[in-house]
Amino acid sequence: MPPARTTPSSRALALGDACGAPYEGGPVERALWAVIGRKNGRRRWTDDTQMAICIAEEAATGSFDLASLGDRFIAWAKEARDVGNQTRAVLSAAASGAELPELAADYHRRHPDHSAGNGSLMRTAAVALVPTDDVAGLAADVSRLTHADPRAVDACILWTVAVSEAIDTAELPDLRSGLEALPAERRDRWVAIIGRAEAEPPTHFTPNGYVVTALQAAWASIVHTRQLDDPFGVAVADAVRVGDDTDTVAAICGSLLGAAYGADVIDPRWLEVLHGWPGLDADGLRTLARRAAGSE
């Protein structure tokens, strides 16, 4: 088992989520960073962070169990106000967490053209906190609790491996690092997907409720600002400016930035107003992340 690790990725995910939340579904013109980053008031995270918290809470038990995590997701969805359509459909059909993988697979079989939403990618960074020798395999399994479509599973593998590498190296990794964990026949497609994100501006990748364009929007926001003095604030701003599913794209983007650059790149004034379900603030998220990683 690898040594326990911790990271500000969870707070960065939540901050991106909370900054993008007021602009979800709105036109790009509304997503003004001058308003998002500097407007007074509390910043509340949404379902993206809430599902990541469920993963961290399960990890914090010291014995990560997929069926138990599924039970957490089901219980959460019963009281959550904002749950994605695909996630809601799968979770509401389950009597227990053990049933979720088959229900998600059945959803994919019945809706092959509409089963690759971004609902598992938005939470996947929390999987990198879990002490495991197979972060790619665990990311795939956690995705399959609600999103069994190979596109969603592959995206979760790539992003979680990248977050894990960023935690280890304190550097921004190449998103291609996780390609070897994918089936060989799907790697070339993802090489092209990643390459397009690096070649096009972030605003090209909308609508982004689709897992592929969500990943591209987040990665494009990162790589097109990686040389700037403010690698977190500017990239998350660009992620929000993409529009459409603003909270999710910014959450995905923030999770990798936090893992790579650490808490020092986040304006502490933003963390002071960060809060959300189940009654946590930024300090509470940090404590939970440490418990999840086995370092507290």
pLDDT digits (tens, 9 = 90+) for 71-103: 999 999 999 988 999 999 999 999 999 999 999
The model carries a pTM of 0.93
Higher pLDDT: 145 or 262? It is: 145
For 170-188, b/e burial (b = at least 16 CB within 10 A) is eebbebeebbebbeeeebe
| 98 Cβ neighbours under 8 A, 6+ residues apart | 67, 70
Q: How many CB atoms within 10 Å of residue 132?
A: 17
User: Can you say whether residue 234 is alpha, beta or left, with left for phi > 0 and alpha for psi between -120 and 50 degrees?
Assistant: alpha
pLDDT for 24 beyond 90: no
pLDDT for 28 beyond 90: no
Four-residue CA torsion sign, 184, 188, 190, 194:
positive
Return the pLDDT at 279. Answer: 96
Question: pLDDT of 196-233, one tens digit each?
Answer: 999 999 999 999 999 999 999 999 999 998 777 888 88
Question: pLDDT of 134-143, one tens digit each?
Answer: 999 999 999 9
Question: Span 173-179, mean pLDDT?
Answer: 96
Superfamily name and number for 9-46+120-136+150-292: ADP-ribosylation/Crystallin J1 (1.10.4080.10)
Question: pLDDT of 106-130, one tens digit each?
Answer: 999 999 999 999 999 999 999 999 9
- Cis, bond preceding 8 (omega within 30 deg of 0): no
- For the chain, percent of residues with pLDDT exceeding 70: 91
| 38 Cβ neighbours under 8 A, 6+ residues apart | none
Q: Name the residue ranges covered by the structural domains of the chain.
A: 9-46+120-136+150-292
Q: How many CB atoms within 10 Å of residue 233?
A: 21
